[in-house]
């Protein structure tokens, strides 16, 4: 499975943008980039995913490097409720059957200061 | 949409007893569900992949006779921890897979905290 590298922790101030980086230099052509987050004592929550183009949804934006070897999750205005562990995960496409296994790394623990 | 529930949310049991955890997809059908385990201050570890109507696929090191998985319908998978011991105390989380385009997105349940005395 392709591996990702994320900083162990990051800090942000409330209402400021947050850029969470992820390196995935061994990504294959069919790997999607998924982001999940986990609040304390809860199951992970889907945030966003993408393949090549940048993606936006109501929660965040995903900026993918042209060579796809890195990506950045962007929270446009951090709130206290965004404090969580953010996981960047590569997952293969499901050609001919699901390859949807997610391998969780240690993620980035985001702290948000009021 | 894409809500997954787990029951119970918390269970305390005596050593040697068996515990059943249910995972339901509430507003969609899921051919594939996954079971994870998370120890304190660690990341999620995939235990097994549960496919409706067939046997589960277990990850290396996970005892299939100890962690029984049944995926009886497209909305329900159960994990039974048999003869539980204190080392089985953990946070168990399930997820259900939804196909969007040519990739799958997993939606997770809220987790079940198991404490074995």
Buried b (16+ CB within 10 A) or exposed e, A3-27: ebebeeebebeeeeebebebbbeeb
User: How far is A38 from chain B, CA to nearest CA, in Å?
Assistant: 10
Section A42-63 average pLDDT: 95
Given A38, A42, A94, which is nearest B99 (Cβ)?
Answer: A94
Q: Which residues pair with B68 in a beta bridge?
A: B80
Q: Hey, is A36 helix, strand or coil?
A: strand
The answer to whether residue B23 scores a pLDDT higher than 60 is yes
The answer to whether residue B102 scores a pLDDT higher than 80 is no
CA distances (Å), origin B3, targets A38, A70, A84, B27, B54:
16, 30, 20, 6, 23
Select the more confidently predicted residue: A87 or B104.
Answer: A87
- Which residues in chain B are contacts of A34 at CB distance < 8 A? 105
Predicted confidence (pLDDT) per residue in B26-72, tens digit: 988 888 899 999 999 899 999 999 888 888 999 999 999 999 999 88
Given B46, B49, B108, which is nearest A45 (Cβ)?
Answer: B108
Confidence of residue A100 (pLDDT cuts 50, 70, 90): low
User: How far is A67 from chain B, CA to nearest CA, in Å?
Assistant: 20
- Say how far apart CA B54 and CA B51 lie, in whole Å: 6
């Amino acid at each position: 499975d392709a591996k990702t590298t994320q900083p162990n922790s990051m800090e942000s101030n409330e209402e400021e943008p947050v850029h969470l980086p992820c390196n995935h230099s061994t990504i294959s052509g069919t790997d999607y980039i998924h982001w999940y987050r986990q609040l304390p004592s809860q199951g992970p929550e889907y945030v966003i995913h993408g393949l090549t183009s940048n993606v936006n949804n109501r929660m965040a934006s995903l900026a993918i490097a042209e060579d796809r070897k890195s990506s950045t999750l962007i929270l446009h205005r951090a709130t206290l409720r965004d404090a969580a562990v953010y996981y960047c995960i590569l997952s293969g496409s499901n050609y001919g059957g699901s390859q949807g296994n997610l391998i969780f790394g240690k993620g980035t623990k985001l702290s948000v200061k009021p | 949409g894409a809500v997954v529930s787990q029951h119970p949310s918390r269970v305390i049991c005596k050593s040697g007893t068996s515990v059943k955890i249910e995972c339901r997809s509430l507003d969609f059908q899921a051919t594939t569900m996954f079971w994870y385990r998370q120890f304190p201050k660690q990341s999620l570890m995939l235990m097994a992949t549960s496919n409706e109507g067939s046997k589960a696929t277990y990850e290396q090191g996970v005892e299939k006779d100890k962690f029984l998985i049944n995926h009886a319908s497209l909305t329900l998978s159960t994990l039974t921890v048999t003869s539980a011991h204190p080392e089985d105390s953990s946070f168990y989380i399930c997820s259900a897979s939804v196909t969007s385009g040519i990739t799958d997105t997993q939606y997770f349940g809220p987790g079940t905290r198991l404490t074995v005395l």
